[in-house]
Amino acid sequence: MIIIDAGSGIRELGNFMMGHDLKKGPIKTEIFLTHTHWDHIMGFPFFTPIYIPGTQLRLYGPVTHEESLERIVGGQLTYKYFPVRDVELAAKIEYIHLKEDRFDLGDGISLVTKYLNHPILCLGYRFECRGKVFCTAYDTEPFRNIFCTNPDDPEYDEVVASEGQIVADEQNQIIEQFIAGADLLIYDTQYTKTEYEKSRIGWGHSSHEDGVAAARRAGVKSLALFHHDPARTDAQIDEVAQRLLIPENTGDVKVFFAREAMEIEL
């Protein structure tokens, strides 16, 4: 079993594993954290298997040099925040720092990791197994030209502006190579295009339109739009879906909005 991230959803998953997996023997699992923003780690203290003797957990994730995953994730379990301390956990937990690389996970599964565009180190994961590819790109924003592109602005420099664009295009192409041909891609699309362009540029998230466009260029087969804005209601998601999910937008990509507890056939 491979788990990506430990947001609020991992609580339900832990309860499911307690009911289904524990009967068959001790729980052994691996959690791959894309990054350590709180919405991606806040469920960890509520993941019941960590309190069960015999559980073996490997927790992977990217961190900068001076930090440790154990302190950031396990550190949520201190008396300041929580009634149980991480040193009291019954499970055997191994914390493993990840960088951009390629790994053999055994059982015929390989993993490629790639840094995305987010305010802190954040990894995309590309799992490959028996010819199928499953990719995650959250949290991420398209790279953009960080230099002034308005010729009327006194700061404008034509050479600098064009080089800035070349770098942004190259970085976006690298991400598209990373997700290329995925059977399933899960992509951060927190905003609508209008919301993004109005006031969310540089926040580290993408629009629905960005996600669909990247998936089309990369020849992705199925795309799950994910990391919905927490303020958006189910009815609003349906509205966006109705407007966006038409063949002229989605092309050959099967696009859908990810929902809690959704099962996806590959």
At its nearest, how many Å lie between Zn ion and the CB of residue 240? 18
Tell me the C-alpha distance between 264 and 41, whole Å: 24
Tell me the C-alpha distance between 70 and 94, whole Å: 9
Nearest to 144 by CA among 179, 173, 171, 122: 171
Residue number with CB closer to Zn ion (37 or 144): 37
Tell me the C-alpha distance between 177 and 175, whole Å: 5
**R_g of the chain computed on alpha carbons:** 20
Paired tokens of 227 = 């990391």
The reply to whether 258 sits near Zn ion by the rule CB under 5 A is: no
Which range binds Zn ion by CB under 5 A, 15-23, 29-37, 96-104, 146-154?
29-37
Tell me the C-alpha distance between 47 and 76, whole Å: 13
Residue number with CB closer to Zn ion (11 or 37): 37
The reply to whether 70 sits near Zn ion by the rule CB under 5 A is: no
Residue number with CB closer to Zn ion (126 or 227): 227
Nearest to 27 by CA among 71, 4, 58: 58
Tell me the C-alpha distance between 212 and 225, whole Å: 8
The reply to whether 195 sits near Zn ion by the rule CB under 5 A is: no
At its nearest, how many Å lie between Zn ion and the CB of residue 118? 6
Tell me the C-alpha distance between 44 and 92, whole Å: 14
The reply to whether 39 sits near Zn ion by the rule CB under 5 A is: yes
Q: Are the beta carbons of 74 and 95 closer than 8 angstroms?
A: yes
Counting residues that bind Zn ion (by CB under 5 A) gives 3
- Name the closest residue to Zn ion (Cβ): 37
How far, rounded to the nearest angstrom, does the alpha carbon of residue 246 sit from its chain's CA centroid? 25
CA dihedral (91, 95, 101, 107) in degrees, to 10, reads: -20
Residue number with CB closer to Zn ion (49 or 191): 191
The reply to whether 37 sits near Zn ion by the rule CB under 5 A is: yes
At its nearest, how many Å lie between Zn ion and the CB of residue 7? 8
Residue number with CB closer to Zn ion (37 or 216): 37
Q: Cα angle vertex 43, ends 37, 47, to 5°?
A: 145
Residue number with CB closer to Zn ion (39 or 229): 39
Paired tokens of 172 = 């976006």
Site for Zn ion in 100-159 (CB under 5 A): 139
Residue number with CB closer to Zn ion (37 or 92): 37
Which range binds Zn ion by CB under 5 A, 35-43, 98-106, 128-136, 179-187?
35-43
Given the rule CB under 5 A, which residues bind Zn ion? Answer: 37, 39, 139
